[in-house]
Amino acid sequence: MDQLVLHEDPISGNCYKIQLTASLLGLPLVRRPYDIWKGETRTPEFLTNINPFGQIPVLQVGTDSFIPESGAACFFLADGDDQKGRLIPEDRLERTQMLRWMFFEQNQHETSVAVLRSWARFTGLGNLSEEQKGRLTALGRQGERALTCMEAHMQGREWFVGKKISLADVVLFAYTQIAHEGGFEMENYPALNQWIARVKGVEGFVKMDGVD
């Protein structure tokens, strides 16, 4: 396979999803770090050569192919002919349910849980703009609603879809495991805590930088 390069910032859960996917699949990944707080993904070079939208993660495949969006990059890695059925279910309905949770992650979960974690941990709640302060309550409610929905789904289940880990678990795991950093009270979600421990026990699991 062509060399895989992950253009990333190690503090980003979106980037970690791709690192975790590669590790679970035993795929070698070269990590190329950027500092998003210094604007390193908004330089003319980055916009021209890596991602015109100015964000990481971007998975580079060989010299010419660049895949922004964490879910798409995870899908590319898991969709290889030699990886069939490992993180993408072979059953059509299960594969569709996997996508359902991946879209949910991007629409409901990442946009609340990850944003509040970033504001609390990196911006600092005391440094928020008026516009950000005005969004705090709504984002907290959205995140709680997403976590509550996940908790209900996981009662009596081991994995989000079917009988084994899939990309649905990988992408939801990244920010759920650190949701407490965004102020979410994770003791309210016992099934999710058991699932987090289960993911950590899977062969090939790798921790996110700076997370125990």
Ligand X SMILES: N[C@@H](CCC(=O)N[C@@H](CS)C(=O)NCC(=O)O)C(=O)O
Question: Binder to ligand X among 36, 59, 167, 199 (CB under 6 A)?
Answer: 36
Helix axes 167-176, 13-25, angle to 10 degrees: 140
Q: State yes or no: residue 10 binds ligand X (CB under 6 A).
A: no
Residue by residue, DSSP assigns 34-57 as --GGGTTTSSHHHHHHT-TT--S-
Q: State yes or no: residue 14 binds ligand X (CB under 6 A).
A: yes
Q: State yes or no: residue 181 binds ligand X (CB under 6 A).
A: no
Nearer to ligand X, 57 or 89 (CB): 57
Token output for 36: 């998003």
Q: Is 185 helix (H, G, I), strand (E, B) or coil?
A: coil
Q: State yes or no: residue 111 binds ligand X (CB under 6 A).
A: no
Nearer to ligand X, 73 or 162 (CB): 73
Q: State yes or no: residue 106 binds ligand X (CB under 6 A).
A: yes
Size of the site for ligand X (CB under 6 A): 12
Q: Would you give the DSSP letter of residue 11?
A: T
**Residues in region 46-105 near ligand X by CB under 6 A:** 54-57, 69-70
CB 71 within 8 A of CB 171: yes
Nearer to ligand X, 79 or 185 (CB): 79
H-helix segments, 3-129: 13-25, 44-49, 70-78, 92-104, 115-118
**Residues in region 118-177 near ligand X by CB under 6 A:** none
Q: Rounded to the nearest whole angstrom, what is the least distance from the CB of residue 9 to ligand X in the complex?
A: 6
Q: How far apart are CA 10 and CA 30, in angstroms?
A: 13
Q: How far apart are CA 121 and CA 51, in angstroms?
A: 26
By CB under 6 A, name the binding residues for ligand X: 12, 14, 36, 41-42, 54-57, 69-70, 106
